[in-house]
Amino acid sequence: MGVGENWHPIFLFILLCYAKVVINSCIIMLNLKDNPTLKDFQEYVKKLEVERGFHEESVLQKCLLLGEEVGELFKAVRKRDRITRVDPGSKISLVDEELADIIIIVCAIANRLNVDLEESFRNKEEINKKRIWK
């Protein structure tokens, strides 16, 4: 006799519905809102880190990754502007992609340090506005 051979169809239906609810609650839906705020970006990054298994990485690890991404941005700019010769065999991403990577890492660092980036941006800009640029 196979498993579930004598199970009532209604019981099987209820069991499948319950399993679907459990599975859906375990799957994190990654969806960045239209017109996202910085807080929305931070929330999105928090979810993507869990989904991709990066959430255990430390601030220091993220800072090292940020440095790497900044280097990739520099290389992409170097290629775009033909500042120096580039190895044609090396993988070089586009400037916009590297900027996006940097935003992701910055959000990841801010999340670990409980920094609200929008608030920080506003506060720092108030300081910057008072500076004299010569």
The footprint of Mg ion (CB under 5 A) covers: 69, 72, 98, 101
Nearer to Mg ion, 28 or 100 (CB): 100
In angstroms, rounded to a whole number, what is the distance separating the alpha carbons of residues 59 and 80? 31
User: Do 48 and 57 form a contact (C-beta atoms < 8 A)?
Assistant: no
For the bound state, the minimum distance from the C-beta of residue 61 to Mg ion, rounded and expressed in Å, comes to 15
For the bound state, the minimum distance from the C-beta of residue 68 to Mg ion, rounded and expressed in Å, comes to 7
Nearer to Mg ion, 98 or 117 (CB): 98
Residues with Cβ within 8 Å of residue 92, at least 6 apart in sequence: 75, 76, 79, 86
Nearer to Mg ion, 38 or 104 (CB): 104
